[in-house]
């Protein structure tokens, strides 16, 4: 049996509690405990169903477009239904830099999407190296990363960094932050890790698509536009110059 609560009674108005009183109270307590346990399980099931629904809807949003920044705000709005999010970003590694692929904020931001910062000393460097999530429950009390001061100035109190891992390789991090301390429980981390995995796969698929598209446009030997791509560029330029009465020349 598991203890889920305690029934506490004040002294009787007259006399002491009898054995019959104790037996009655014990029966009442058992009935209340069963009812409370059922209600708790219903709440847990409801929360889990909501989380699964958010995961499915978030995944659908992320896979709806290759323009990740364009759909990122919608993704975060969906995530806010189950997780406290004041600031969030997708950060990729590139050489010695951390690159902000997408960013969403209710509290402003020191950085913007498309910006690069030194990778060294950041949480992204740590989670990519260790392939593990990191939670900092209150930045005003303790933090181990160089970006902490900037986050604190924006009002961030708690923050979680999750590795983006695609095909066994860590490519960056999903960062979620809140103005409230201790905003993220183990349950939240589990949910975010599932989303981080799906995001990483989408980013990797987008990268592969871009590579295939580029190879279709560029001749591998000359590294110049192939005939089809060149014809498309020329047709567009001729059309543009014709609209404005210009002359197009190819030298």
- Establish if 132 belongs to a structural domain: yes
CATH number of the domain where residue 91 is located: 3.30.450.40
Q: What is the mean pLDDT of residues 69-94?
A: 90
CA angle 181, 75, 102 (to 5 degrees): 80
The pLDDT of residue 110 is: 93
Inside any domain, residue 184: yes
Structural domain boundaries enclosing 146: 61-197
Total domains present in the chain:
1
The pLDDT value given to residue 32: 78
Task: Specify the pairing of strand 169-178 against strand 87-94.
Answer: antiparallel
Residue 137: inside a domain, yes or no?
yes
Please state whether the predicted TM-score (pTM) of the whole model is above 0.75: no
The pLDDT of residue 56 is 75
Instruction: Answer yes or no: are the C-beta atoms of 83 and 191 closer than 8 Å.
Output: yes
Alpha carbons 144 and 134: distance in angstroms, whole number = 10
pLDDT digits (tens, 9 = 90+) for 205-242: 777 665 666 666 665 556 555 656 556 666 676 666 56
- Residue 127: CA atoms inside 13 Å, Cβ hemisphere, count? 27
Q: What are the tens digits of pLDDT across the range 169-218?
A: 999 999 999 999 999 999 999 999 999 998 898 888 777 665 666 666 66
Domain membership of residue 205 (yes or no) is no
The answer as to whether 30 is a domain residue is: no
Q: Is residue 20 part of a domain?
A: no
Q: What end-to-end distance do the CA atoms of the chain give, in Å?
A: 86
- What pLDDT, on the 0 to 100 scale, is given for residue 130? 97
144 is a domain residue = yes
The mean predicted confidence, pLDDT, of the chain is 82
């Amino acid at each position: 049996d598991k203890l889920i609560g305690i029934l506490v009674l004040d002294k009787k108005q007259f006399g002491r509690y009898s054995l019959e009183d104790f037996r009655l109270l014990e029966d009442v307590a058992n009935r209340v405990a069963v009812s409370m346990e059922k209600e708790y399980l219903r709440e847990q099931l409801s929360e889990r169903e909501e989380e699964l629904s958010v995961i499915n809807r978030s995944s659908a949003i992320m896979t709806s477009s290759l323009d990740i920044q364009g759909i990122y705000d919608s993704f975060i709005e969906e995530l806010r239904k189950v997780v406290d999010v004041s600031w969030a970003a997708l950060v990729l590694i590139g050489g010695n830099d951390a690159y902000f692929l997408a960013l969403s904020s209710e509290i402003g931001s020191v950085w913007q999407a498309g910006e690069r910062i030194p990778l060294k000393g950041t949480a992204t460097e740590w989670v990519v190296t260790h392939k593990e999530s990191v939670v900092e429950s209150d930045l005003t009390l303790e933090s181990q990363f160089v970006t902490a001061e900037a986050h604190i100035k924006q009002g961030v109190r708690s923050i979680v960094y999750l590795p983006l891992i695609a095909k066994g390789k860590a490519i960056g991090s999903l960062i979620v932050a809140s103005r409230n301390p201790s905003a993220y429980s183990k349950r939240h981390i589990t949910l975010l890790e599932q989303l981080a995995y799906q995001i990483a796969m989408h980013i990797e698929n987008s990268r592969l698509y871009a590579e295939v598209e580029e190879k279709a446009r560029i001749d591998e030997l000359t590294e110049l536009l192939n005939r089809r791509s060149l014809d498309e560029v020329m047709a567009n330029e001729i059309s543009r110059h014709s609209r404005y009465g210009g002359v197009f020349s190819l030298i």
